[in-house]
């Protein structure tokens, strides 16, 4: 059974009197331990889908089933408790944390809220989380704004795995990082997936990133699904106009696609 | 340059700080320097200032020591001003945060209440409240806060409306934090700086309102207040003008000191925030 099954999801916004359909009748599923990529040009509705799946906004129509139950039916304390299983990493790791927070504070919150560790035990758990994402425990007392962008994104991942989720939504989570750091973070994500069987909903406009980590891909265009399938199959021979356009915009991939050596 | 250094290089700010320090020193030393009841008779009535050095500022219509009254009045002014401003800031910040963060019906209701309070001039509101409930220090504080919390509430709400769209608020929801915890632990502290920037104006206004209430005889009757002293002196304004002038000058200098020092703090810290 799918871990996450989204069916006929629709979200409209009204802006200046007229209505925009940001997400239009979208259906897809994510299996346990798998990475599904959501790709598409800017404004195609990727972040809106992420926010819908995380119940940060409510859809106008559609169903979201998570871990076998109706996720849209949850509310209040039940929803907050279930959130432990469904986490998110944002694009800008600086914006994703309270500007006043320290690393320890950021990691303490999920452990406290979901009663994962007692107060006395939490500092040890925080140190273990930091080490799990390739950081050292002495980073704990530092302020979020003092550490580097790559370290910050590792802290964001540590926060996301603190509650042992089955699915993490990564909304352009590596887009803001420079190339070498990006590779390290992707390796960390792959390692976590292998060790903990975490599934990812990977949102990206970068086909290179998608090809290196995603099993399947869904291509979005103006809120609708243009094409979907096995990552390599879709990227190597896109059928939709938007797939061809995205491939043409990725020069390095374009060359390897044309030149099989 | 550190904010303190920059503060010390701003002459208005330093002047304000000195005035404020003098006021605080007066308030704190009042019962040391003038341990008795400041409302007790200390000498012949209407003694002019600088005549008798045991009564440097002379005496009022009943023979009370004007300098002692001035020191004890500083205490009332400062206590009421700070307490009323603190109450207004706390209530305003809480109401504004709830309205801005909850949105929808809660926002609608809270902002209608804020509108209602704002349409009544704050001094009339204070006047009506004290007239109905009766004058005492606590009531005067509440009366002044009643008319001043709306400004901080509006500013807090505007700030919260922009903060609640930030990713870190979404992040707090994703980790399952309770909405009230998000509002008060994550959002409110970051919405505070512009609200606190209003505090000098609010404290200054509160001190003036307290003086005005006392002037109209609606201050706490058991305490010496500068407003009360001015009102007292008014009856003998022609023969002994100093009785009104002395507390009047104290009031003007206090309000000026609070305002200048407060603005100085805001300026120097705002520049620092802009740089970081
Ligand atoms: N809060 C909002 N109000 C109005 N329109 C929005 C809002 N959020 C997103 N949109 C619109 O919905 C569409 C999809 O946006 P988004 O999901 O952010 O796209 P992507 O993440 O793929 O770049 C865009 O046209 C965007 O302008
Ligand atoms: Mg986006």
Question: What ipTM was reported for this prediction?
Answer: 0.92
pLDDT tens digits for range A165-208: 999 999 999 988 998 999 999 999 999 999 999 999 999 988 99
Is B187 part of a structural domain of the chain?
yes
CATH number, domain with residue B151: 1.10.3720.10
| Positions of chain B with pLDDT lower than 70, given as ranges | 1, 270-276
With a 6 Å cutoff on the Cβ, whether A204 touches ligand 1 is: no
CB B168 to CB A159 under 8 A? no
E strands present in chain A: 4-15, 18-30, 35-39, 61-66, 69-70, 86-89, 167-171, 199-203, 216-221, 224-230
Is B33 part of a structural domain of the chain?
no
Predicted confidence (pLDDT) at residue A251 exceeds the cutoff of 70: no
The domain total for chain B is: 1
Residue B177 lies in domain? 3-28+64-275
Contact B210, B76 (CB under 8 A): yes
Residue whose CA lies nearest to ligand 1 atom number 4: A13
CA-based nearest residue in chain B for residue A55: B174
pTM above 0.90, yes or no: no
pLDDT in the model for residue B221: 87
Record the tokens describing residue A145, joined without a space: 């704004």
Residues 6+ away with beta carbon under 8 Å from A147: A103, A139, A155
Could you say which residues from 160 to 179 on chain B have a Cβ atom under 8 Å away from some Cβ of chain A?
A: 166-168, 170-178
Is B180 part of a structural domain of the chain?
yes
| CATH 1.20.1630.10, applies to A27-57+73-85+165-261 | no
Predicted confidence (pLDDT) at residue A164 exceeds the cutoff of 60: yes
Where residue A252 falls among pLDDT bands split at 50, 70, 90? low
CB B168 to CB A99 under 8 A? yes
Dihedral angle computed from the Cα positions of residues A9, A14, A20 and A23, in that order, rounded to the nearest 10 degrees = -20
Domain spans of chain A, in order of start? 27-57+73-85+165-261, 93-164
With a 6 Å cutoff on the Cβ, whether A228 touches ligand 1 is: no
With a 6 Å cutoff on the Cβ, whether A159 touches ligand 1 is: no
Where residue A249 falls among pLDDT bands split at 50, 70, 90? confident
Long-range contacts of B210-214 (CB under 8 A, 24+ apart): B210/B76, B210/B77, B210/B80, B210/B81, B210/B84, B210/B140, B210/B144, B211/B77, B211/B251, B212/B123, B213/B126, B213/B127, B213/B130, B213/B135, B213/B140, B213/B143, B213/B144
CB A88 to CB B177 under 8 A? no
Q: Which of B129, B120, B193 is nearest to B150 (CA)?
A: B120
Contact A6, A21 (CB under 8 A): no
pLDDT in the model for residue B5: 87
pLDDT tens digits for range A103-153: 999 999 999 999 999 999 999 999 999 999 999 999 999 999 999 999 999
Cα-to-centroid distance, A149 and ligand 1 (Å):
25
Q: Which of B197, B261, B244 is nearest to B14 (CA)?
A: B261
Q: Which of A232, A231, A165, A233 is nearest to A199 (CA)?
A: A165
With a 6 Å cutoff on the Cβ, whether A46 touches ligand 1 is: yes
């Amino acid at each position: 059974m799918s871990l996450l099954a989204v069916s006929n999801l629709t979200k409209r916004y009204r802006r200046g009197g007229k209505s925009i359909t940001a997400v239009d009748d979208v259906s897809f599923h994510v299996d346990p331990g798998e990475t599904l990529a959501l790709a598409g040009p800017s404004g195609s509705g990727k972040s809106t889908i992420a926010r819908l799946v995380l119940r940060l906004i409510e859809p106008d129509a559609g169903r979201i089933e998570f871990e076998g139950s109706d996720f849209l039916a949850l509310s209040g304390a039940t929803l907050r408790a279930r959130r432990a299983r469904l986490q998110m990493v944002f694009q800008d790791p600086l914006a994703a944390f309270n500007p006043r927070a320290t690393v320890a504070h950021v990691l303490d919150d999920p452990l406290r809220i979901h009663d994962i560790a007692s107060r006395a035990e939490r500092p040890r758990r925080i140190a273990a989380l930091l080490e799990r994402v390739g950081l050292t425990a002495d980073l704990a007392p530092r302020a979020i704004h003092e550490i580097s962008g790559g370290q910050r994104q590792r802290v964001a991942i540590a926060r996301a795995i603190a509650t042992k989720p089955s699915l993490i939504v990564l909304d352009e989570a590596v887009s803001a990082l420079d190339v070498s750091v990006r590779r390290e973070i992707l390796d960390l994500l792959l390692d976590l997936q292998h060790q903990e069987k975490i599934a990812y909903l990977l949102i990206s406009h970068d086909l290179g990133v998608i090809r290196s980590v995603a099993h399947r891909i869904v291509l979005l265009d103006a809120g609708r699904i243009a094409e979907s399938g096995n990552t390599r199959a879709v990227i190597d021979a896109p059928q939709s106009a938007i797939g061809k356009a995205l491939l043409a915009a990725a020069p390095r991939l374009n060359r390897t696609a044309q030149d099989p050596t | 340059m550190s904010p303190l250094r920059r503060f010390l290089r701003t002459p208005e700010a330093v002047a304000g700080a000195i005035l404020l320090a003098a006021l605080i020193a007066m308030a704190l030393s009042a019962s040391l320097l003038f341990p008795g009841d400041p409302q007790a008779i200390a000498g012949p009535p209407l003694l002019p200032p600088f005549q008798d050095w045991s009564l440097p500022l002379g005496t009022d219509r009943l023979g009370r020591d004007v300098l002692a009254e001035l020191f004890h009045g500083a205490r009332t002014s400062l206590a009421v001003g700070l307490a009323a401003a603190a109450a207004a800031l706390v209530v305003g910040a809480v109401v504004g945060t709830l309205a801005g963060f909850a949105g929808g019906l809660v926002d609608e209701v809270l902002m209608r209440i804020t509108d209602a309070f704002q349409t009544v001039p704050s001094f009339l509101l204070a006047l009506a409240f004290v007239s109905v409930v009766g004058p005492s220090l606590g009531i005067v504080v509440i009366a002044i806060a009643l008319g001043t919390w709306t400004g901080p509430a509006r500013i807090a709400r505007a700030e919260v409306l922009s903060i609640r769209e930030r990713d870190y608020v979404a992040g707090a929801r994703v980790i399952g934090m309770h909405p009230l915890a998000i509002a008060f632990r994550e959002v409110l502290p970051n919405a505070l700086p512009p609200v606190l920037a209003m505090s000098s104006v609010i404290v200054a206004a509160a001190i003036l309102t307290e003086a005005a209430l006392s002037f109209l005889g609606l201050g706490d009757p058991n305490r010496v207040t500068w407003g009360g002293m001015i009102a007292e002196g008014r009856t003998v304004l022609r023969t002994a003008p100093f009785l009104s002038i002395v507390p009047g000058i104290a009031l003007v200098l206090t309000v000026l000191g609070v305002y200048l020092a407060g603005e100085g703090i805001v300026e120097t810290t705002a520049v620092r925030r802009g740089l970081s």
